[in-house]
Amino acid sequence: MGTFAITGSASGIGAATAARLERGGHRVIGIDLRDADIEADLATPSGRDAASAAVDEQCAGRLDGVLVAAGVGPPFDPEVMASVNYFGAQQLLADLRSALAATGDAQAVAVSSNSTTTQPGVPDDLVQAFLDGDEDRARSLGRELGDAMTYASSKTALARWVRRHAPTAAWAGSGVRLNAIAPGATMTPLLQSGLDDETFGPLISGFPVPTGGFGEADQIAAWIEFMLCDDGARFMCGSIVFVDGGTDALVRPDAWPSTYEM
């Protein structure tokens, strides 16, 4: 049995994954604003530092896997969204890499989104600000561009960060497989807040899902459990797995493999 750290463990996909892992006999170190083993605000550098240090202490410097699932979506303050969705995920992955490498056989999964490929007009300058590690600029651009574009940009940047780092000596070379999952509209508190909004609700409801309806958090968690624990995932490295009811395939039928500019 292994030890896994999960951000966003108190609700949604993070909570569903934690429940699956615990049913399998694994130990989960949950990180969230509240109702978690480690309560921390991942929107702030100090909160991220505290969370990483607390995880390292609780796992004694050894982790079998990490899931960064903490995130917020529209409608939400775009500056806070920029900090949580990208920097809250990227820094925790980077900070916990050594604990993953200590086992010599570990998995890390980031929760991206199919908005990375299905939302038109994702701004390159905001994506680049994320990848440059310029949090102040990312927050400023997020404020200018609004929460919808900030959401898609943060998830696009996170997917690209995964692709860029997964095959490197620091990750794959140290025995850590790094991948991402790109869910579609999944019934979580995050999605419900969007559905309840008078602007975003109709847009979300009208977005095409070929299989019909929204996904369930446990359906996404089942894929994450496979990516974190199953022997079949040991050859995965830098993959972006779309689990979105066919929306990405509908919008981009000729795009194969799923493309993220490097």
- Kindly list the catalytic residues: 151
- Which residues have CB under 8 Å from 191's CB, separation 6+? 73, 185, 204, 214
The Cα–Cα gap between 107 and 137 comes to 31
Residue 193: half-sphere exposure toward Cβ, Cα within 13 Å: 10
Which is nearest to 166 in space by CA: 232, 256, 240?
240
Q: Is the peptide bond before 257 cis (omega within 30 degrees of 0)?
A: yes
Angle between helices 124-131 and 135-145 (to 10 degrees): 160
Under DSSP, the state recorded for 36 is: S
Q: Are strands 38-39 and 176-183 parallel, antiparallel or unpaired?
A: unpaired
